[in-house]
Amino acid sequence: MHLHDVWFVVIAVLWIGYFFLEGFDFGVGILTKLLARDRAERRVLINTIGPVWDGNEVWLLSAGGATFAAFPEWYATLFSGFYLPLLLILVCLIVRGVAFEYRAKRDGERWQRNWEHAIFWTSLVTAFLWGVAFANIVRGVKIDQHMEYVGSLGDLLNPYALLGGLLTLVLFTFHGAVFTALKTLGDIRTRARRLATGLGAATAVLALAFLLWTQAQRGGTASLVALLVAVVALLAAIGTNLAGREGWSFTFSGLTIVAAVAMLFLALFPDVMPSTLHPDWSLTVTNAASTPYTLKIMTWCAAFATPIVLLYQGWTYWVFRKRIGTQHLAPSGGH
């Protein structure tokens, strides 16, 4: 196995980690309107991810940084090619981060309500756009012989990509509902479970359609296996949720995300960004990669840092393992 293959896997793992973790963050953000009935419940939701959302978001920065370092051509083509969607994602991530931090810093009704709107909309738009972006990467876009994206914004909004966006949106919301059921107490927990059932069914339909479409377009044996794992995990997540086994349900909804994203990367390999104009113009793990020397340095760093990161991030979840109900909210919020 070449180092550039290793780094393809590392980048896949970073994206998987990002979608697993920030997936439920986005979901929780969306549920502030879908599930919460009043401000206290919205606060409960926001506080289930309060201590962790920032750390979760670093998975994205690591994926971005690793792509830049290990596959500069991929980073350059992708980020300049998907310019406007990425701009929108950036705006959402900026507003969303500030919203979490600043919402409770003032008591005013309008102040808090505005930031809550912001949390909902930015979570929703970002959850949708990541699906659109990844679907386009896997499907392939118009890339010329100089590795430049030559398509338009409209080209990115094709039916397959929109279906991908819809899938991530609903899947993350489902994941968030399952997470909420696991992390909350009282009435909201029961309702989260009930909502998760409906969301699970919707996810199943969308996932089946999108993943089969992907398999038909670019799939191989490995991606088929991942597809099956994703589908089975999703059914298990729905089933365990119905049975009230919240820990298991969250494990399986997480596994669904892991398997689905893994499937996309397996379908992609050995390309990293296929060209729809000419197969020779595709970006691959070889022509987009950095030199073996850089990859070697990076491998050392990742091998050293990743276990430590996993350890302390895992520890954080353990420290904040208690469920939260409305009775736990600090009276004066973030003062």
Partner 1 sequence: MNLALAPETLARWQFGITTVYHFLFVPLTISLATLTAILQTAWVRTNKEKYLKATRFWGKLFLINIAMGVVTGIVQEFQFGMNWSDYSRFVGDIFGAPLAFEALIAFFMESTFIGLWIFGRDKLPKKLHLATIWLVALGTVASAYFILAANSWMQHPVGYRLNEKTGRAEMTDFFGILFQNTALAQFFHTMTAAFLTGAAFMVGISAYHLLRKKHIPVMRSSLRLGLVTLVIAGLLTVISGDRLGKVMYEQQPMKMASAEALWETQAPAPFSVFSYGDVDKGHNKVAIEIPGVLSFLAHDNFYEAVPGINDTNAQLKEKYKDTVGLDDYRPNIPVAYWSFRWMIGFGMASFALGAVGLYLTRRRFWLAERLRTGEDERPRLALTRNRELSPRLGVWYWRLSALTLGFPLIANAWGWIFTETGRQPWVVYGVLPTASAVSPGVSQGEVLTSLLVFTALYAILAVIEVKLLVKYVKAGPPELTEADLNPPTRIGGDTGDGADDRPMAFSY
* Window 97-156: residues binding partner 1 (CB under 8 A): 97-98, 100-106, 147-150
- Binders of partner 1 in range 166-185 (CB under 8 A): none
Q: How many residues are listed for the chain in this entry?
A: 335
Select the residue interacting with partner 1 from 6, 9, 65, 276 (CB under 8 A). 65
Closest CB to partner 1 among residues 106, 245:
106
Q: Does 199 sit near partner 1 (CB under 8 A)?
A: no
Stretch that binds partner 1, among 22-30, 31-39, 230-238, 307-315 (CB under 8 A): 307-315
Q: What is the distance between the alpha carbons of residues 132 and 165, in angstroms, rounded to a whole number?
A: 4
Contact residue for partner 1 among 34, 79, 194, 251 (CB under 8 A): 79
Q: What is the per-residue DSSP string for 45-96?
A: HHHHHTTTHHHHHHHHHHHHHHHHHH-HHHHHHHHHHTHHHHHHHHHHHHHH
Closest CA to 254 of 24, 45, 27, 62: 24
Query: Could you tell me the smallest distance in angstroms from the CB atom of residue 10 to partner 1?
Result: 10
Closest distance between partner 1 and the C-beta of residue 309, in Å? 5
Binding status of residue 186 toward partner 1 by CB under 8 A: no
CA distances in angstroms from 228 to 112, 136, 262, listed in the order given? 43, 22, 12
Q: Is 271 helix (H, G, I), strand (E, B) or coil?
A: strand
CB 200 within 8 A of CB 174: yes
Among 19, 26, 75, 174, binds partner 1 (CB under 8 A): 75
- Asked if 72 is part of the footprint of partner 1 (rule: CB under 8 A), the reply reads yes
Radius of gyration for the chain, computed over Cα atoms and rounded to the nearest angstrom? 20
The answer to whether 73 contacts partner 1 (rule: CB under 8 A) is yes
- Residue 203 Cβ, how far from partner 1 at the closest point, in Å? 28
Per-residue mark of binding to partner 1, 309-328 (x: CB under 8 A):
x--xx--x-xxxxx-x--xx
| Alpha-carbon gap, residue 107 to 185, rounded angstroms | 25
